[in-house]
Structure 1
């Protein structure tokens, strides 16, 4: 059973990110929103330039 529970000794990056998100609360959500808006802006800008 110890082989299937490797995440206990070395937690995955997703688990660490989730834990960090819960601990930091609003700041993490704000940063995620800014990143999402920035990514959409870059994609729209590239689509406009290559059109």
Structure 2
């Protein structure tokens, strides 16, 4: 019987996410840009509303 899948530790979530980010570079950059723009818009909107 082969128990090799039991002895190898599963890759961590961070490692899988980094591998996925490298493979899907354009999508990751788009999502990062959208997240940054959205966060900036929220901060500017709050600053405008609370002035």
TM-score in terms of structure 1 length? 0.69
- Structure having the higher Rg: 2
Deviation beyond 6 Å, 4+ runs, structure 1 = none
The Cα RMSD (Å) is: 1.6
**How many residues end up aligned between the 2 structures?**
44
Q: What is residue 49 of structure 1 aligned with on the other side?
A: 49
- Deviation of 1:25 (Å): 1.3
In the TM superposition, what are the counterparts of 1:11-22 in structure 2 within 5 Å?
11-22=11-22
TM-score in terms of structure 2 length? 0.69
Unaligned runs of 5+ in 1: 1-7
Unaligned runs of 5+ in 2: 1-7
